[in-house]
């Protein structure tokens, strides 16, 4: 079910009305049912996978908690010596580890199967120089499609399981309430990756609504739609035409144009979609995790990743980076480096290694394709290099000029990264980089744009996208200055407010009329 469709609007309105009227005392039940209905619409057969994840993680977490409680009780028994207590502790830890491992294997196994099976078939095909789909064993296997939101709900569930393992909070006793957390439909479309301890308490509370809250949600949803339909979709044709077919003779100026447009398209698409789902969740009084914080105002690549897809970055930090950095191997490495190069290097170098690993995983998570791995490694290596350089040279001061310089530098680094992300063939990526540096050909810019006119854009799409981009820039600057844009609009004088409403309405409508992109949200496929 497309979230910008009449059927979704009817589905949502039904849930919304029930949530605040008839079922006000059991709001969480409305959400569970709504989640299952929404999920069934995306392919009822996929329900099985989300149910497996929900119940395996719920059961596993509960088992781990029981082991811990039992161990606690046993250790309290009188007459136990220290040795015996340590043995119980070690025994419990082993059991918990086993359960955790089983849950992780099962859930990451399902995720890996869906995400990488097609890649495996392709690889086998290359190795054996044949169409492996024709083998009886793999018959029809290439038709695998990712179940909706599988990455997001798997990451949420695994995060919860690790938290229970670490005793961070109590496990959920009610399987349906846990299912609600895993299958919460606004988060299934393209994230964010929520944390149980932030979402679950909100599900237990009874929420009320009012005109002001409704207006705020509606404004955020509409703004997300502007970014998606009046900006991202209108740019996708030009981006495809330029970057899908990079040839040795493609001028660098056109490649740079394509990359810059792609940067805007991706940001508008992803953050627009996130705004829409945050608005839907807000309408139920549930605040989901923030996913974007004006990423193009970042002063370093590390800062960029703390502002772009925040929930993924935070998940990687808490469940991959820290656990990996705290392994005996990495701690040993830290000690050795510290001895040889000093205490600063002793903490920076293991962090560099962990960052490279994290971004390698982020690359793989995007897809089993070499260009994603290259993109992940590029980010990891640049962040590691930034940290290493930072050990020797650090810019002090907080002047506007320095900040602007850092922002420009980060913008450049991020955009180089987009070459690896967007150009699907690694060889073409290097051709594109080479042409950008050594065959820029500024005189080819206008003829190149003229060639795109008609097929990729027309006068309307340029005007609509320019207005939407202007609005995006202004809102991001305002947010960066600490202003709540929605409050500013909603508290402004009626004439200005209504002018904004009309502008938003017509940008969406004209974006839909003149847009050619028919695909959904870019991140819905991860």
Partner 1 sequence: MKRRVRILAYSFIFLALILLTQRGLKYILMDDVDSYTRVMLHELYHSPENIDVLFTGSSHCYRGVDPRVVDEELGVNSFNAGSSSQSIDGSLAMIREAAKHHNLKRIFLEVEFNTCLEIPFHDRSQLTSTYILTEYMPFSPDKLKYMLRASSIEKYPNTFLPLGKYKGMTEEIRRIPDILERKQSEEYRNYGYVNNSIERYYGKGYVGSEIRMDGTGFVSGEPYCELNLHNFSKDWRRTIHVIGDFCRDRGIELAFFCAPTTDFQLVGVENYDEFRRRFRELTSDIGAEWYDFNLCRSEYLPLSDADFMDDNHINQYGAEKFSRLLGRFLAGGIKEEELFYDSYAEKREKEGEGIFGIIAQEDREAHAFSLSAVSDAPDNRLSYEVFTLPEGEEKPVRCRDRGPEQTVSYPEGESGTLIIDVYLEGKEEPYRGCTLYGGASQESLRLLDEDVEED
**In terms of CB distance, is 322 or 502 closer to partner 1?**
502
How far, in Å, are 3, 186, 302, 381 from residue 334 at the CA level?
A: 48, 42, 21, 18
Query: Could you say which of 395, 405, 505, 525 contacts partner 1 (CB under 8 A)?
Result: 505
Q: At what angle do helices 196-204 and 175-183 cross, to 10 degrees?
A: 120
259 in Cβ contact with 413 (< 8 Å):
no
What is the rounded CA–CA span in Å between residue 218 and residue 212? 10
Q: Pick one of 113, 404, 502, 525: the residue that binds partner 1 (CB under 8 A).
A: 502
Nearer Cβ to partner 1 (4/445): 4
Q: Taking a C-beta distance cutoff of 8 angstroms, is the pair 149, 188 a contact?
A: yes
- Rounded Cα–Cα distance for residues 24 and 386 (Å): 52
Q: CA-to-CA distance for 357 and 374, rounded, in angstroms?
A: 12
Closest separation in Å from C-beta 513 to partner 1? 5
In whole angstroms, the minimum distance from the beta carbon of 508 to partner 1 comes to 10
8 A C-beta contact, residue 246 and residue 431: yes
Residue number with CB closer to partner 1 (9 or 101): 9
Return the residue of 498, 499, 519, 525 that touches partner 1, per CB under 8 A.
Answer: 498
509 binds partner 1 (CB under 8 A): yes
Considering the complex, what minimum distance in angstroms separates the CB of residue 459 from partner 1?
4
- In the complex with partner 1, the residue whose CB is nearer, 229 or 526, is 229
CB of 458 to partner 1, least distance (A): 5
- Residues numbered 165-224 forming contacts with partner 1, rule: CB under 8 A: 211
End-to-end CA distance of the chain: 17
Applying CB under 8 A, which part among 108-116, 290-298, 347-355, 509-517 lies near partner 1?
509-517
Residue placing its CB nearer to partner 1 in the complex, 10 or 102: 10
Tokens representing 183 are 């299958």
Closer of 120 and 462 to partner 1 (Cβ): 462
List the interface residues with partner 1, window 290-329 (CB under 8 A): none
Nearest to 347 by CA among 357, 358, 363, 336: 336
CB of residue 498 to partner 1, shortest distance in Å: 7
Q: What is the DSSP string of 93-116?
A: HHHHHHHHHHHHHHHHHHHHHHHH
Instruction: Tell me if 254 sits within 8 A of 167, measured CB to CB.
Output: no
Q: What is the 3-state secondary structure (H, E, C) of 222-266?
A: HHHHHHHHHHHHHHHHHHHHHHCCCCCCCCHHHHHHHHHHHHHHH
| Chain centre to alpha carbon of residue 370 | 20
Q: Which of 102, 463, 473, 499 binds partner 1 (CB under 8 A)?
A: 463
Residues β-bridged to residue 457: 453
User: Which position among 389, 513, 519, 525 is part of the footprint of partner 1 (CB under 8 A)?
Assistant: 513
Give the interface segment with partner 1, choosing from 192-200, 305-313, 464-472, 504-512 (CB under 8 A).
504-512
Q: How far is the CB of 217 from partner 1 (least distance, A)?
A: 15
Half-sphere exposure of 271 (CA within 13 A, CB side): 22
Size of the site for partner 1 (CB under 8 A): 18
Contact segment (CB under 8 A) with partner 1 among 64-72, 418-426, 430-438, 501-509 equals: 501-509
What is the C-alpha to C-alpha distance for residues 451 and 245, in angstroms, rounded to an integer?
Answer: 14
The residue among 226 and 414 lying less far from partner 1, judged by its C-beta, is 226
Measured from the CB atom, is 214 or 473 closer to partner 1? 214
Cβ pair 355, 380 in contact under 8 A: yes
Phi, psi values for residue 453, rounded to 5°: -60, 130
Task: Report in angstroms how near the CB of residue 214 gets to partner 1 at its nearest.
Answer: 10
Q: Can you tell me which residue has the tokens 């919860």?
A: 160
Choice from 455, 512, 519, 525 touching partner 1 (CB under 8 A):
512
Q: Does 247 bind partner 1 (CB under 8 A)?
A: no
Q: Considering the complex, what minimum distance in angstroms separates the CB of residue 10 from partner 1?
A: 7
CA–CA distance, 526 with 511 (Å, rounded to integer) = 25
- Select from 60, 449, 113 the least CA-distant residue to 260: 449
Task: Give the residue carrying structure tokens 């497996």.
Answer: 52
For the segment 352-381, give every residue that binds partner 1 (CB under 8 A). Answer: none
String of contacts with partner 1 for each residue 255-284, x by CB under 8 A: ------------------------------
Asked if residue 10 binds partner 1 (CB under 8 A), the reply is yes
Q: Alpha-carbon distance 252 to 115, whole Å? A: 33
State the residue for tokens 């940067």.
263
In the complex, the smallest distance separating the C-beta of residue 517 from partner 1, rounded to whole angstroms, is 13
- Residue with smaller CB distance to partner 1, 473 or 513: 513
The H-or-E segment that residue 453 falls in is none
Least distance (Å) between residue 227 CB and partner 1? 19
Residues numbered 440 to 459 that lie near partner 1 (CB under 8 A) are 458-459
Min dist. Cβ of residue 386 to partner 1 (A)? 46
Which residues of the shown chain bind partner 1 in the complex (CB under 8 A)? 5-7, 10, 211, 458-460, 463, 498, 501-502, 505-506, 509, 512-514
């Amino acid at each position: 079910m497309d979230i910008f469709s009449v059927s979704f609007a009817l589905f949502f309105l039904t849930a919304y009305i029930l949530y605040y009227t008839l079922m006000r005392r059991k709001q969480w039940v409305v959400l569970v049912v709504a989640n299952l209905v929404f999920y069934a619409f995306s392919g009822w057969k996929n329900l099985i996978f989300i149910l497996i994840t929900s119940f395996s993680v719920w059961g596993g977490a509960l088992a781990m908690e029981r082991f811990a409680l039992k161990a606690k009780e046993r250790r309290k028994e009188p007459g136990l010596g220290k040795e015996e207590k340590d043995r119980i502790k070690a025994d419990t830890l082993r059991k918990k580890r086993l359960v955790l491992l089983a849950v992780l294997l099962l859930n990451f196994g399902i995720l890996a199967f869906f995400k990488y099976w097609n890649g495996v078939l392709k690889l086998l095909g290359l190795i054996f120089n044949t169409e492996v789909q024709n083998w009886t064993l793999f018959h029809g296997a290439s038709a695998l499609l990712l179940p909706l939101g599988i990455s997001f709900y798997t990451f949420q569930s695994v995060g919860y399981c690790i938290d229970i393992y670490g005793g961070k909070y109590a496990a959920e006793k009610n399987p349906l309430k846990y299912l609600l957390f895993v299958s919460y439909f606004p988060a299934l479309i393209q994230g964010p990756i929520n944390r149980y301890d932030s979402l679950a308490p909100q599900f237990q509370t009874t929420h009320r609504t009012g005109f002001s809250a409704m207006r705020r949600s509606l404004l955020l949803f509409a703004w997300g739609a502007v970014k998606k339909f009046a900006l991202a979709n209108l740019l996708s044709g030009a981006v495809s035409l330029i970057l899908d077919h990079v040839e040795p003779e493609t001028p660098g100026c056109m490649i740079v144009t394509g990359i810059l447009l792609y940067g805007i398209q991706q940001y508008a698409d992803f953050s627009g979609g996130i705004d829409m789902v945050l608005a839907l969740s807000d309408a139920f009084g549930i605040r989901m995790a923030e996913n974007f914080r004006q990423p193009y105002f970042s002063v370093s690549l590390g800062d960029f990743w703390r502002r772009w897809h925040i929930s993924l970055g935070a998940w990687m930090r808490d469940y991959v980076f820290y656990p990996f950095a705290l392994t005996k191997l990495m701690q040993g490495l830290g000690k050795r480096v510290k001895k040889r190069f000093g205490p600063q290097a002793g903490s920076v170098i293991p962090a560099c290694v962990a960052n490279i690993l994290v971004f390698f995983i982020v690359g793989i998570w995007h897809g089993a394709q070499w260009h994603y791995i290259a993109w992940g490694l590029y980010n990891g290596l640049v962040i590691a290099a930034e940290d290493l350089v930072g050990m020797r040279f650090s810019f002090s001061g907080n002047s506007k000029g320095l900040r602007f310089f850092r922002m420009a530098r980060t913008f450049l680094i991020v955009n180089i990264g987009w070459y690896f992300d967007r150009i699907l063939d690694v060889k073409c990526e290097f051709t594109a980089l080479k042409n950008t540096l050594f065959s820029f050909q500024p005189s080819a810019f206008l003829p190149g744009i003229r060639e795109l006119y008609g097929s990729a854009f027309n006068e309307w799409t340029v005007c609509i996208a320019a207005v939407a981009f202007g609005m995006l820039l202004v809102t991001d600057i305002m947010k960066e200055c600490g202003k709540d844009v929605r409050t500013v609009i909603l508290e402004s004088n009626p004439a200005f407010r209504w002018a904004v409403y009309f502008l938003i309405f017509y940008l969406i409508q004209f974006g839909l009329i003149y847009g050619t992109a028919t695909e959904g949200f870019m991140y819905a496929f991860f």
